[in-house]
């Protein structure tokens, strides 16, 4: 298992080859009147795991299929390693894909499945056998080489599909919801295995997923998509901590969004008054918006402290409320706190103290919420 944290991996990759390896230029794909992918420009670096994240129908799969060559862009161009592949059919692209359904050929054995791609290239028989064997070794499926796909479990099929898509040493591997068909325990295990294999082979991965947790674990960078457009591209940390819009803030994790008005805008801080909050946010970073403009403040539930005592200091970044609801999730508890304005705020606290101990905050208690000046994020759209 890889112990590298996503941001460490990202740094390791970013420092060397920064020039784009895969380049999408103003790619649009229309189906009749429906615009599945809308003017997307995107750059993917060599050796990274890039995740396209979005809800169903956001265009992420269409984008992936255009990279594979199954769909042609209505306009725009796609470049891989300096070559324009826009018009190329799938069988002429240095790209392989792992399908969501795995698409293993049912009438062939595991080994024949893995060797299929090599056989198309008229590689000598001995070399095919060797490379297919090595790839099966890598995914720990060598002992199953003679089995047919229907004789395998879901996890085993997934590994065969991965071996088959990697055996041709593609410049780019596309993975369509690679873990969706696995159960939760197996999925968590496989995520790290995927990262390990990717690091061993150094192949560039583009992963499509609707599961933000999967994207956060796998990706060095994430592209969040909605309605055929890429809303934000960034590292998992960027996306989570510095969302650029209400959509991204809301889509990744849970968030409390407050509508507010910019009242003070200095280079090193802003103050935003919010009727919804019934108070003001003091935020220790500047924003680029006109004074008086309507903005939104995104505040993550885990960045709010909840306490019975009034916090010390002056009046911003705190608010009084009453606990309306508590959900105990084992490792953490979720509190819904109702403010004087009527707005409910979601707060999560790790359960450091064992549940049932005396002195815990309970229903209908009056509490204070407070947060750090660095915690809220201002989004203007």
Which residues are at the interface with other proteins (CB under 8 A)? 68-70, 89-91, 95-97, 99-101, 103, 105-107, 116-117, 120-121, 144, 147-148, 150-153, 155-156, 164-165, 168
Measured in residues, the chain has a length of 381
Q: What is the DSSP letter of 149?
A: G
Q: Is 39 exposed, middle or buried (0-12, 13-18, 19+ CB in 10 A)?
A: middle
Q: Are β-strands 229-234 and 204-209 bridged in parallel, bridged antiparallel, or unpaired?
A: unpaired
Task: For the beta carbon of residue 107, count every other beta carbon within 10 angstroms.
Answer: 8
In the bound state with other proteins, the residue whose beta carbon lies nearer, of 150 and 354, is 150
State the nearest-atom distance from the C-beta of 146 to other proteins, in Å: 12
In the bound state with other proteins, the residue whose beta carbon lies nearer, of 68 and 273, is 68
In the bound state with other proteins, the residue whose beta carbon lies nearer, of 152 and 345, is 152
Q: How far apart, in whole angstroms, are the C-alpha atoms of residue 352 and residue 35? A: 49
In the bound state with other proteins, the residue whose beta carbon lies nearer, of 148 and 303, is 148
State the nearest-atom distance from the C-beta of 123 to other proteins, in Å: 11
In the bound state with other proteins, the residue whose beta carbon lies nearer, of 97 and 215, is 97
State the nearest-atom distance from the C-beta of 22 to other proteins, in Å: 16
Q: How far is CA 312 from CA 3, 315, 318, 368, 371, in A?
A: 39, 9, 10, 11, 12
In the bound state with other proteins, the residue whose beta carbon lies nearer, of 96 and 244, is 96
Task: Measure the N-to-C terminal CA separation of the chain; round to a whole number of Å.
Answer: 40
State the nearest-atom distance from the C-beta of 129 to other proteins, in Å: 17
In the bound state with other proteins, the residue whose beta carbon lies nearer, of 101 and 374, is 101
Pair 280, 373: CB distance under 8 Å: no
What are the residues whose beta carbons fall under 8 Å from the beta carbon of 300, sequence distance 6 or more?
240, 253, 254, 255, 256, 375
Q: What is the DSSP letter of 131?
A: H
State the nearest-atom distance from the C-beta of 47 to other proteins, in Å: 21
In the bound state with other proteins, the residue whose beta carbon lies nearer, of 187 and 346, is 187
Q: How far apart, in whole angstroms, are the C-alpha atoms of residue 375 and residue 184? A: 31
State the nearest-atom distance from the C-beta of 345 to other proteins, in Å: 44
Q: Is 380 exposed, middle or buried (0-12, 13-18, 19+ CB in 10 A)?
A: middle
Which tokens belong to 29? 């794909």
State the nearest-atom distance from the C-beta of 121 to other proteins, in Å: 6
State the nearest-atom distance from the C-beta of 370 to other proteins, in Å: 48
Q: Give the residue from 48, 43, 29 showing the smallest Cα distance to 82.
A: 43
């Amino acid at each position: 298992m890889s112990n590298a944290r996503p941001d460490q991996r990202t740094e390791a990759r970013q420092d060397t080859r920064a020039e784009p390896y895969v380049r999408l230029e103003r790619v649009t794909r229309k189906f009749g009147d429906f615009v599945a992918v809308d003017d997307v420009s995107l750059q993917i670096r060599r050796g990274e795991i890039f995740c396209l994240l979005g809800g169903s129908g956001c265009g992420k799969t269409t984008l992936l299929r255009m990279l594979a060559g199954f769909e042609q862009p209505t306009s725009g161009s796609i470049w891989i390693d300096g070559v324009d592949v826009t018009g190329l059919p799938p069988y002429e692209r240095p790209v392989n894909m792992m399908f969501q359904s795995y698409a293993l050929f049912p009438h062939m054995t595991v080994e024949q499945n893995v060797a299929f791609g090599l056989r198309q290239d008229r590689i000598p028989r001995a070399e095919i056998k060797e490379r297919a064997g090595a790839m099966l070794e890598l995914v720990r499926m060598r002992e199953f080489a003679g089995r047919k796909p229907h004789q395998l479990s879901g996890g085993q099929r997934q590994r065969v599909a991965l071996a088959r898509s990697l055996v041709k040493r593609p410049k780019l591997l596309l993975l369509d919801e690679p873990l969706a068909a696995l159960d939760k325990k197996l999925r968590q295990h496989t995520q790290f295995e995927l990262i390990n294999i990717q690091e061993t082979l150094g192949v560039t991965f583009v992963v499509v997923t609707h599961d933000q947790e999967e994207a956060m674990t796998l990706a060095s960078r994430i592209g969040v998509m909605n309605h055929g457009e890429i809303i934000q591209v960034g590292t998992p940390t960027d996306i989570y901590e510095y969302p650029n819009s209400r959509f991204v803030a809301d889509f990744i994790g849970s968030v409390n969004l407050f509508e507010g008005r910019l009242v003070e805008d200095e280079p090193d801080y802003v103050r935003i008054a919010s009727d919804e909050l019934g108070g003001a946010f003091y935020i220790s970073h500047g924003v680029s918006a006109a004074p008086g403009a309507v903005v939104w403040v995104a505040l993550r539930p885990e960045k709010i402290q909840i306490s019975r005592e009034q916090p010390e200091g002056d009046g911003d970044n705190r608010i009084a409320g009453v606990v309306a609801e508590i959900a105990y999730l084992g490792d953490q508890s979720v509190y819904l706190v109702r403010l004087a304005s009527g707005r409910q705020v979601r707060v999560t606290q790790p359960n450091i103290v064992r549940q049932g101990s005396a002195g815990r905050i309970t229903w209908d208690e009056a509490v204070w919420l407070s947060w750090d000046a660095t915690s809220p994020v201002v989004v203007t759209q």
